[in-house]
Structure 1
Amino acid sequence: MQEHKEILSIALVQADLHWEDVTANLASFEEKLAALPEAVDVIVLPEMFNTGFTMNTALAEPMNLTTTRWMKQIAKQQNALVVGSFAVNDGGRFFNRLLCVRPDGTYSQSDKRHLFRMGEEHSHYTAGNARLTIEWRGWKFCPLVCYDLRFPVWSRNLQSDPYDILFFVANWPARRAHAWSTLLQARAIENQCYVMGVNRVGTDGNGLEYRGDSVALDYLGEPIAMLTNQETEKIVHISKAELATYREKFPALSDADDFEIRC
């Protein structure tokens, strides 16, 4: 039976990424995670954490090879759920696929729904058509990828499939940092949930600059933790009881509009 945690501990891992170098990135993350000062329940990595945000689909891996196996290894070693996305070759089609990997090696997956056309992502990858919610240690999560943040309908906290936490893994450029911070706050407020946004830092192979601004927000959109423009790991602790109390006192989601998404 899965353990239920009243207080959940989450590690936000904000890193510079080695451009299109899977081996270097996995080694770097392994070193960072080995140095975490305490055990955690969830580890959140950036979007395309093994390569950077690349359109080079030659780097896309079949499932259950290098990066998937690495995530399984880390999940087992850390006894934590590991969340992150990477480029996947699935039967000749390419996806920006997010995995949530458990310590026992099982995983849930979700493909990025909204592909960033200004970066030609839609010309190289196939969009996902199903939103994922999963349960882990008594909490419900909805994990999404970068550009998905701009589309509130896709991330809406539905009465039919409610969640406690939204995760956004990203490679969100510094030139649009204001939108990143503002939209993360909006998603927390409108969905009455915790929001964890994990972005990268540094400069990629296309010359795009990233300043991080990874953040943990509470259900009011107030910051629990805000990361600066450098490589860092931050552990946050969040309360299930505090979330439940707030929702009971201010049940705005009960008045939300019903709708159906057709993919």
Structure 2
Amino acid sequence: MQIAIIQPIIVSGNKKANYLKMSQLIEQAVGLFPKPDVIVLPELWSTGYALQELDHIASDQGLEEATFLGDLAQKHGVWFAGGSVAAKTSEGVTNRAQIINRQGQLVAFYDKIHLVPMLDEHLYLTAGNTICVHDIEGITFGFSICYDIRFCEFIRKLALEGAQVLVVAAQWPLVRLSHWQALLKARAIENQCYLVAANNTAMGNVPFAGHSTAVGPDGSTLVQFEFVEGVQQVVIDVTKVEQIRNAVPVFQDRRPDLY
């Protein structure tokens, strides 16, 4: 399977600019050879991290963004997996990762369950209450958003539910770039699965870290962005997941009776 990662410069609070930018980058992605099967976008790709504005600019259930991506998915015959949007619900605005199939249908979603207290996310967002793993053409994907990667128990739960590929959509800040790099590699190594992460690379008042990446189940770096906007692609071969898990059987050797 071919997975394309899009690392954009997201304009905070400007949906029109972000739709235009994403259209351009998606066109670039589908022009890659071989053509990607799946495209991964960052967290809050349509609005940016404009928390105080989300109540006004979030779309109902995130359907505006799902329609936009659905039309492109159908046009190009690709999946979109894990990019998140601000979705207005009856309980408040959620940070919602969307999974859209080749026919343009929204087939699953994940509402971010860990809200960042240091940034007052709980004042603007409503936390989700369920995990999301979903089959994409025979491969099981697990979904997470930004701060989620600090919770090893949560990511392990995705792996225990069958995830062979972990998707991380983020608006990770530059000030904690070293944490981003260490945590992504650790989550892939300890769960012996692929990890694909897309981040914002805007350099405004609060600069974001860029450095979107793909990590193999052995911890090897397969794709590495720096601070430049663009698109890169990684090949996923899930037989390597089983090979690594058989060679180093940490899942067999867990002691959940003790911890």
Partner Cα separation in structure 1 for residue 159 and residue 69 of structure 2:
32
Code of the residue aligned with 2:87 in structure 1: it is: V
Q: Which residue of 2 aligns with 1:168?
A: 168
8 Å Cα contact 2:11-2:48 kept in structure 1:
yes
User: What is the percent sequence identity of the aligned residues?
Assistant: 28
Distance 1:174 1:197, change over 3 A: same
Secondary structure at the counterpart of residue 201 of structure 1: coil
8 Å Cα contact 1:140-1:162 kept in structure 2:
yes
Code of the residue aligned with 1:163 in structure 2: it is: A
- TM-score normalised per structure 2: 0.92
Q: Which residue of 1 aligns with 2:73?
A: 75
Shift of 1:160: 5.1
Q: Which residue of 2 aligns with 1:12?
A: 5
- TM-score normalised per structure 1: 0.90
Partner Cα separation in structure 1 for residue 137 and residue 109 of structure 2:
18
Q: Which residue of 1 aligns with 2:148?
A: 148
Code of the residue aligned with 1:91 in structure 2: it is: S
Distance 1:31 1:220, change over 3 A: same
Distance 1:190 1:159, change over 3 A: closer
Distance 1:97 1:64, change over 3 A: closer
Partner Cα separation in structure 2 for residue 82 and residue 240 of structure 1:
19
1:42 corresponds, among 31, 38, 43, to 38
Q: Which residue of 2 aligns with 1:95?
A: 94
Partner Cα separation in structure 1 for residue 116 and residue 62 of structure 2:
26
Partner Cα separation in structure 2 for residue 13 and residue 158 of structure 1:
23
Distance 1:33 1:60, change over 3 A: same
Partner Cα separation in structure 2 for residue 42 and residue 227 of structure 1:
18
Bigger Cα displacement from structure 2, 190-199 vs 70-79: 70-79
Shift of 1:22: 1.1
Shift of 1:30: 0.9
Which structure 1 residue ranges, 5 or more long, are not aligned?
1-7
| Cα-to-partner distance string for 1:105-135 (whole Å, 9 max, x where unaligned) | 1320110011111111111111111110000
1:1-263 equivalent positions in 2, closer than 5 A: 8-36=1-29, 37-38=32-33, 39-55=35-51, 56=53, 57-63=55-61, 65-83=63-81, 84-104=83-103, 105-157=105-157, 161-204=161-204, 207-258=205-256
Shift of 1:28: 1.1
Distance 1:158 1:125, change over 3 A: closer
| Cα-to-partner distance string for 1:160-208 (whole Å, 9 max, x where unaligned) | 511101111000010000000000011001101011111111234xx10
Distance 1:160 1:173, change over 3 A: closer
Partner Cα separation in structure 2 for residue 64 and residue 85 of structure 1:
9
Secondary structure at the counterpart of residue 156 of structure 1: helix
Secondary structure at the counterpart of residue 131 of structure 1: coil
8 Å Cα contact 2:11-2:202 kept in structure 1:
no
Code of the residue aligned with 2:98 in structure 1: it is: L
8 Å Cα contact 2:4-2:234 kept in structure 1:
yes
8 Å Cα contact 1:133-1:143 kept in structure 2:
yes
Secondary structure at the counterpart of residue 103 of structure 1: coil
Shift of 1:159: 7.0
Secondary structure at the counterpart of residue 75 of structure 1: helix
Secondary structure at the counterpart of residue 210 of structure 1: coil
Distance 1:159 1:185, change over 3 A: closer
Distance 1:239 1:160, change over 3 A: closer
Partner Cα separation in structure 2 for residue 65 and residue 9 of structure 1:
26
Which structure 2 residue ranges, 5 or more long, are not aligned?
none
Q: Which residue of 2 aligns with 1:4?
A: none
